[in-house]
Structure 1
Amino acid sequence: MRAFQVTSFDAPPEVVELPDPEPKPGEVLLDISACGLNFADLLMSTGRYQDTPEPPFTLGMEVCGTVAALGEGVTEPAIGTRVAVFGGQGGLAEKGCFPAALCRPVPDTMDDTSAAAFMVAYGTSHLVLTRRARLQEGETLLVLGAAGGVGLTAIEVGKALGARVIAVARGADKLEVAKAAGADHLIDSDTDDIKAAVKALGGADVVYDPVGGDAFKAALGACNREARVIVIGFASGDVPQIPANILLVKNITVIGFYWGGYLKFNAEALSDSLAELMEWHALGKLKPHVSHTLLLTDAAEALDLLRTRKSTGKVVVTP
C-alpha cells in the first residue's frame, strides 16, 4: 500500500510503499476512503507536536474508512461497516489499523469526506464550549481564526447553543465563509482594530482562540467581566504571555484545551460529545465545510494549503 510518511524530521514527508498492515488484538483494519488534515499534522511533520511519535510514521490524525478485517478479540464494528476514527496518526494511507473501541459508525446521512473532516474540529468546539467554557444562550462568543478548520465549527456550535457570534478572519473571502457559517458580526484582522471593534460590539463573554499572538492580546483586551478565554492553539506561531493583572481586574478565566488529551483520561466525554454532534448533523444543524479535496499523491500540497493559510474549513485527502 501507499502511505505519506515522515521518515526524518530533517526531510519533508513523502509517499512510500509499505506492506499491507495486519490488525493487532483490539484493532480493526480499515480501507481508508478519506483523511482530514489538521494543523497538528504540520507540527507533527517537523517534530513540534506534543504527541509526535519517532520516525518513521504515517501522518493523518482522523479518517473515514470501511472495516476490512478484525484483530483478535474484536467483534464489532463488523466487517463492511463504514466508520470514522481519531487515531492520532496513520490516516494518510490506503489502509490503516486503529483501535476498534475508538471507531464510530458513520450514519448514511454523512458522506466519507464530511466524516473525515468532522471529529477533531467539531469535537473540539463542542466539548470546550459546553464542558469547559459553559457558553450560555445570549452570551457573545468571539472566534479568532474563524475561517479555519476549528474556527468555522466554533461558529456553528456557538450558534446552535444560542450565542451571538463575532468572527475574526483575514480578508473579505474568508469573512464571507464565516458569514455563511452563521456569524453575526465580522471583523477583518488585516485591516480592523480587533480590540476596538469587539468593544464597540459590547465585548466578548467567551473567546475561542486557535491563533495566539497579537490576536490573543487584542481579544483579551476586549473581554467583559467574568469572560472565559479558550486557548486552542497557536497558528500564528506566537505563544502569548498572559498579563495576570488583566485576569485579576476583570475576573477573567483562561482555559487550556487539548481535545485529543481526553482519550487518555476521559474518553467517555469525547464519545458523548460526538454522539450529540452526529445527531445535530442528522438534523441539518451542522454543515462541514471542506475547501479542498486532494489525492494521496498530492498530500504535500494539501499540507502546504494549511501552512500558507490558503484553505478555509478543512482540507481532506483521499487515497
Structure 2
Amino acid sequence: MKAVLCKAFGPPASLVVEDLPSPTPEAGQVVVSVHAASVNFPDLLVIQDKYQFKPSLPFSPGGEVSGIVTSVGAGVTSLAVGDRVVAWAPYGCFAEEVALGEGQVIQVPDGIDHVTASTLLVAYGTTHHALVDRASLRAGETLVVLGAAGGVGISAIEIGKVLGARVIACASSDDKLEVCRARGADEVVNYSREDLKARLKALAPNGVDVVYDPVGGAFAEPALRAMAWRGRYLVIGFAAGDIPKIPLNLTLLKGCSIVGVFWGSFTMREPERYREGLAELFGWVREGRIQPHIEQTYPLEQASSALSAMAERRVKGKVVLVTAREAAASAR
C-alpha cells in the first residue's frame, strides 16, 4: 500500500510517499481501506513537531479518515467487514490502509459519501462540542466566529445557524467573507482593514454572547472586549501561532467565561457523549441542514500540496485527500 511518510520533522515539502506492507489487525483492531482523509491544521503542526502529540519517526500524518472495513481482529464485536466507517486518530491516516482500535471507528449512515464523512469528525465534531456542550449556545444569541472561512470556522457558522444564533463571521479578506455569507453568516467583518472591537460593538451594541476562536493572536483581546455579560469565549486553537495573554480583569468586569475546548481529549474522556454528538451531526447532514464546504480534493500522493495550501492560508473550508479507490468509485 502507498503511504505518506514524515521521516524528518519539517515543512510539507519534506513529506515522501512510499510503498509499505498492508497492516494486519491485532486483537481489538480493524483495518480500514481508506477512501478519503480530511486535512486539518493539527496535521501541519504534527509534521513540524509543534503539536501536543509527539509521534516517533517515521510516521504517516493524518488523523481523520473515511473508508471501508476490510478485516477485523479478535474480539471485535461492533464492526464487520464491509462496514462504511469514519475514524479519528492523532496520526497515521494518510495511507491507503490503516489499522485502528475498535473504539476509534464509527459506522457512517447511508446517504453520506466518503469525502463528506471524512470532514465531520475534527472540524464539525469540535464545533458541536464547543457550541452545544461548552457554550450552551441558545437561539437568539449572537455568535462571533474568528477565522470564519477555515474548516472549523465554516462549521461554526453552519452549526450556529442550526442552533438559531445570529452569526457574525470574521476573516481576513473579502473573498473569504463571501464564502462565509454563502454558508449562512448574517454579518461579516474584515479584520484586515476594520477595527475588530469597534465593528463588533457596532453590530452588537449589547455585546456578543459567544466568541468562537480558533485563531488566537492579536484578535483575541479585542473580541473579548466586545463580549456581553455572561458571555462565553471559546478557546479552540491558535492558528495565528501566538498564544494570547488575556487581562483577566476583563472577565471580572464582564462576568464572562473563558472556556477551553479540547475535542481530542473530550472524545477519550466522554466517548458516549462524543458518539451522541456525532450522531446528531450525521442527522443534520442527511437532512441538508449542514453541508461541509470542500474546496478541493487532492490525490493521496499530493498530501504535501494540500498541507502547503493550508500553511499558506489559501484554504477556504476543507481540503480532502482521496485514494485511487475513491477516485475509481466516483468515476463509476
Q: Give the TM-score category using the shorter length.
A: over 0.9
SS in 2 for 1:218: helix
Q: Amino acid of the residue matched to residue 79 of structure 1?
A: V
Q: Amino acid of the residue matched to residue 307 of structure 2?
A: L
Q: Which residue of structure 2 lines up, in the alignment, with residue 220 of structure 1?
A: 224
Query: Unaligned regions of 5+ residues in structure 2, if any?
Result: 324-332
Q: 1:192 Cα shift?
A: 1.2
Scaled by the length of structure 2, what TM-score is found? 0.94
Alignment of 1:93 with 2:95, yes or no, is yes
What number of residue pairs does the alignment pair up? Answer: 319
Counterpart mapping for 1:128-143 below 5 A? 128-143=130-145
1:5-37 C-alpha deviation (Å, 9 max, x unpaired):
111225722212211111111111011000001
Give 2:249's match in structure 1, choosing from 218, 223, 245: 245
Q: Which residue of structure 1 lines up, in the alignment, with residue 305 of structure 2?
A: 301
Counterpart mapping for 1:59-98 below 5 A? 59-98=61-100
SS in 1 for 2:42: helix
In 2, Cα distance between the equivalents of 1:124 and 1:244? 25
In 1, Cα distance between the equivalents of 2:133 and 2:119? 22
Superposed CA RMSD in Å reads 1.1
Conserved in 1, the CA contact under 8 Å of 2:208 and 2:231? yes
Identity %: 45
Query: Unaligned regions of 5+ residues in structure 1, if any?
Result: none
Conserved in 2, the CA contact under 8 Å of 1:122 and 1:153? yes
Counterpart mapping for 1:51-66 below 5 A? 51-66=53-68
Q: 1:108 Cα shift?
A: 2.2
Q: Which residue of structure 1 lines up, in the alignment, with residue 288 of structure 2?
A: 284
In 1, Cα distance between the equivalents of 2:174 and 2:239? 20
Conserved in 2, the CA contact under 8 Å of 1:87 and 1:99? no
Q: Which residue of structure 2 lines up, in the alignment, with residue 4 of structure 1?
A: 4
Q: 1:154 Cα shift?
A: 0.5
SS in 1 for 2:22: coil
In 1, Cα distance between the equivalents of 2:229 and 2:256? 6
Q: Which residue of structure 1 lines up, in the alignment, with residue 239 of structure 2?
A: 235
Q: Which residue of structure 1 lines up, in the alignment, with residue 329 of structure 2?
A: none
In 1, Cα distance between the equivalents of 2:106 and 2:22? 23
> Relative to structure 1, is the Cα distance of residues 274 and 10 closer, same or farther in structure 2, using a 3 angstrom cutoff?
closer
Scaled by the length of structure 1, what TM-score is found? 0.98
Counterpart mapping for 1:81-230 below 5 A? 81-202=83-204, 203-230=207-234
Q: 1:52 Cα shift?
A: 2.5
In 1, Cα distance between the equivalents of 2:271 and 2:227? 32
1:92-148 C-alpha deviation (Å, 9 max, x unpaired):
001001112222221221111101111111111111111111111111000000010
Bigger CA drift: 10-19 or 300-309? Answer: 10-19
